[in-house]
Amino acid sequence: VNTAIDNLHRLAARTTGTLSLAGGLPMASLFPRRLLGLAGLEASLETSGAALQYGWPEGNEELRRWIAGELQRRGAAVAHDDVIVTTGAQQALALTVEVLPEVKRSIAVEPETYPGALDLFQRKTALANDPRYAGVSYVVPGVGNPSGLDLTPFERDSLLSTGRFIIADEAYAELRFDGRVGRPLFADAPTRVFHVGTFSKTLCPGLRIGWLVAPTRFRQALLSAKRAADLQAPTLGQDMIERLLQRLDWSEHLAHARSTYARRVERLMHAVRRHLPGFAFREPEGGYNLFVTSDDPELDELDVLEQATKLGTSFDPGRLFRRDEAPLVFAMRLSSCNVPEESMDEAIRRLARAVSMSRRERRSGPRSRPTRAATP
Amino acid sequence: VNTAIDNLHRLAARTTGTLSLAGGLPMASLFPRRLLGLAGLEASLETSGAALQYGWPEGNEELRRWIAGELQRRGAAVAHDDVIVTTGAQQALALTVEVLPEVKRSIAVEPETYPGALDLFQRKTALANDPRYAGVSYVVPGVGNPSGLDLTPFERDSLLSTGRFIIADEAYAELRFDGRVGRPLFADAPTRVFHVGTFSKTLCPGLRIGWLVAPTRFRQALLSAKRAADLQAPTLGQDMIERLLQRLDWSEHLAHARSTYARRVERLMHAVRRHLPGFAFREPEGGYNLFVTSDDPELDELDVLEQATKLGTSFDPGRLFRRDEAPLVFAMRLSSCNVPEESMDEAIRRLARAVSMSRRERRSGPRSRPTRAATP
């Protein structure tokens, strides 16, 4: 099924005129392209060639200092030597899974969560059926994915009180609409929490620069695992970010991203209320996505996605965010990033049409689905 | 011990005036810095932001076409869809180890080989004691590491005739001094050979762009593993290389790199013959390193490295290239890259002094080694 979804997403990406609501891709117009370009030029031209050369597995010291500084500002006691620069947040998760023995017992995840983590955990261990017996919990604090919601104080406290190891994926946390980026979870349990962060959502994903702050006793094992995985994170990307951060007012940059995304998600909610009245969602606290559900038992996510692709739109089916065995409630994650603001209404209109076409076909009897049959 | 070596290497890297012969780092002066800088600038400025955005797990199509084209020129039947762009050659190895079940039985390696592969294999499986019973063979054809030597035709034939799976790490293969870059090993057994390549040695390592060509039936598993590992190779690095290759005469670039390295390795050999007369080496056929051995039973690699670091030089001890249990014959890999040509003689002179100081200390009775004791 995931291959079928992938194929439809690739088809949508190839089709001009598609107003796509799929993909966790941040808005390209928010990338500080000019400053990044200058940073890349300067870094490459430097006579030493250092930005193009091999680097250390833990990453550039200056960048680690900056990351530690940001986390300190958020209330964590952390030094630059606690930070490991990773090849994106996904690698931070993969390295954690590799070194934390408790992972082998099973991982507890939220009912809906980041697909990249689900894939990884299902490859490497088992997802916990009963979270009480899990070895590790994986959560997405600050701004959840796909929900856009923070953990409630109660959830946060319960989680910490279990005494379990926690993987806290704060990839979207800096994108809270209200700008109140709270204490990272590891600040409250530094010996048990693996903190995962990234520049992919706040700056741009194409450099593949994320980070991991782990309990100290795992540091050497993590560095060995990092070396075995890919030696080190890209040197040029790290150097570019260091240079960029000297010129860019980071808090202003974030404030602009937050207000842009808040406005776009608002618009998305407005269009969903208008064109998909039977559908439910909770207003996100941050990020750029909207997670929309329906309890109509007739609707099938893949089917609606096929219709939507034909009608010139796309979305991420809810099943991507759920473990394989999860009961299927129809859901879609809609991204506000790839559609021009003035076309957002039209995108949701197309989606609504896809939903009703799918309903109509369902009612008109047993289905012949050549497209799906052809997919492995 | 590896931690002790790492600490000494880091110390050498921090110490100004060190003439280091350590590290598999290519020469920074060969990086096409201006063209890379321009490529980075252009790629970043592009309005679509595509070079800074997420990409597909298999990598950029244009880059895969170029890589396939190069391999075709070397005599392999390969299409762009056979190529997976990886986060450096190291990741190509890591992904292969993950998807190839025969790896679990054990991997046969050459007596001396690439340390990153040894580390990885020792983490993930066992090294074969008897290569006849190994599940997989790992080799470094074209230009060996650390030897700088190609497989002999006999070795190549024997290897292929075993019927085993082979991981062929051709990271240095394009750097043969004579420019006769032969058929990649997988061209002779495409259903059994995993071909690993990289831009790290020929262009620059800091972009972390390598590739993997695997037997077709492993492709889907590899893409899943790639996604779980880090989603995708850096988009910007891929885009920069695509742009660079439109402007750079690649064969001229390679020819220049080959002749530069050939000259430097020649100079290194000259200095070794002069200052380390008791030491042996075989003349490399390519690359930029020289692997030097001694059968003096009194010499200890770590000890000589300590002395060398004090005297302002450094090298990669032979044990880094050998499995843990391997009998220790004193050896050093000397890189020709980091020392100005006119100082190469001085670097080897320092090394010779380190060797004789180490010998003298050994003779003067039982050793007290505070430095080593302090290292975990």
Chain B residues with CB-CB distance to A91 below 8 A:
229-230
List CB contacts (< 8 A) between A37 and chain B: 40-45
Bridge partner list, B19: B313
pLDDT at residue A67 in the model: 98
CB-based contact, B208 to chain A, within 8 Å: yes
pLDDT exceeds 90 at position A368? no
The reply to whether the predicted model has a pTM over 0.90 is yes
Does A373 score more than 90 pLDDT? no
Confirm or reject contact between A205 and chain B (CB < 8 A). yes
Mean pLDDT of A200-209: 98
Task: Give mean pLDDT, residues A342-362.
Answer: 95
CA B280 to chain A, closest CA, distance in angstroms equals 29
Q: Which residues of A touch B207 (CB under 8 A)?
A: 52, 234-236
List pLDDT tens digits, range B277-331.
999 999 999 999 999 999 999 999 999 999 999 999 999 999 999 987 777 799 9
Residue B32: C-alpha distances to residues A46, A114, B247 (Å): 11, 39, 11
What digits encode the pLDDT tens for the residues A210-234? 999 999 999 999 999 999 999 999 9
With beta carbons less than 8 A apart as the criterion, state whether A175 and A286 touch. Answer: yes
State yes or no: pLDDT of B374 exceeds 60: no
Mean of pLDDT values over A33-38? 98
Q: Do B236 and A31 touch (CB under 8 A)?
A: no
Q: Where are the beta strands (DSSP E) in B243-302?
A: 280-281, 289-294
B136, β-bridge pairs: B107, B165
Decide if A229 and B123 are in contact by the 8 Å CB cutoff: no
Task: Say if residues A183 and A72 touch (Cβ distance below 8 Å).
Answer: no
Which residues in A lie closer than 8 A to residue B240 (C-beta atoms)?
40
Whether B25 contacts chain A with CB within 8 A: yes
Of A31, A47, A230, which is closest to B49 when you measure between CB atoms?
A: A31
pLDDT band at B375 (very low <50, low <70, confident <90, very high): very low
At B77 the pLDDT is 97
Report the DSSP beta bridge partners of residue A290: A334
Residue-level pLDDT at A366: 56
**Cβ–Cβ of B204/A116 closer than 8 Å?**
no
In Å, how far is A376's CA from the nearest CA of chain B?
11
Q: Which residues of B touch A24 (CB under 8 A)?
A: 54
Cβ separation B41–A40 shorter than 8 A: yes
Q: Which helix (H) or strand (E) holds A9?
A: helix A2-14
Q: In A278-296, which positions are buried (b, 16+ CB within 10 angstroms) versus exposed (e)?
A: ebebeebbbbbbbbbebee
List the beta strands (DSSP E) in A151-200. Answer: 165-169, 193-198
pLDDT in tens, A151-163: 999 999 999 999 9
- The chain-wide mean pLDDT, for chain B, equals 94
B41 close contact with A: CB closer than 8 A: yes
Task: Give residue-wise pLDDT tens across range A76-127.
Answer: 999 999 999 999 999 999 999 999 999 999 999 999 999 999 999 999 999 9
In the structure, how many helices (H) and strands (E) does chain B have? 12, 12
Q: Is the pLDDT of residue A62 over 50?
A: yes
What is the arithmetic mean of pLDDT over A193-200? Answer: 98
Report yes or no: B43 at the A interface, CB cutoff 8 Å. yes
How far apart are the CA of B51 and the nearest CA of chain A, in angstroms?
6
pLDDT of residue A376: 39
* pLDDT tens by residue, B17-67: 999 999 889 999 999 999 999 999 999 999 999 999 999 999 999 999 999
Nearest to B315 by CA among B54, B82, B18: B18
The letter for the amino acid at A334 is L
DSSP bridge partners of B196: B169, B212
Residue B118 sits at the chain A interface (C-beta within 8 Å):
no
Nearest CA in chain B to A115: B228
**Local confidence band at B3 (pLDDT 50, 70, 90 cut-offs):** confident
Size of interface A-B (CB pairs under 8 A): 196
User: What burial class does residue B77 get, using C-beta atoms within 10 Å of its C-beta: 0-12 exposed, 13-18 middle, 19+ buried?
Assistant: exposed
Cα-flanking dihedrals φ and ψ of residue B75, to 5°?
105, 10
Q: Using pLDDT thresholds of 50, 70 and 90, give the confidence band for residue B368.
A: very low
Nearest to A85, CA basis, from B210, B234, B225: B234
Indicate yes or no: CB of B230 within 8 angstroms of CB of A236: no
Classify A356 as helix, strand or coil: helix
Is pLDDT of A188 > 90? Answer: yes
Question: What was the pLDDT predicted at B363?
Answer: 81
SS3 of residue A195 by DSSP: strand
Q: Which two tokens stand for residue B104?
A: 């679990």
Residue B364: what pLDDT?
79
Predicted confidence (pLDDT) per residue in B136-147, tens digit: 999 999 999 999
Question: What is the full DSSP assignment across A260-288?
Answer: HHHHHHHHHHHHHHHH-TT-EE---SBSS
Q: Mutate which of A10, A54, A96 to disrupt the B interface (most B C-beta within 10 Å)?
A: A54
Are B37 and A40 inside 8 Å of each other by CB? yes
Q: Are A91 and B229 inside 8 Å of each other by CB?
A: yes
Nearest-Å Rg of the Cα atoms of chain B is: 21
Nearest residue on chain B to A86, alpha-carbon basis: B230
Q: What is the 3-state secondary structure (H, E, C) of A17-52?
A: CCEECCCCCCCHHHCCHHHHHHHHHHHHHCCCCHHH
Please check the confidence at residue B176 and state whether its pLDDT lies above 70: yes
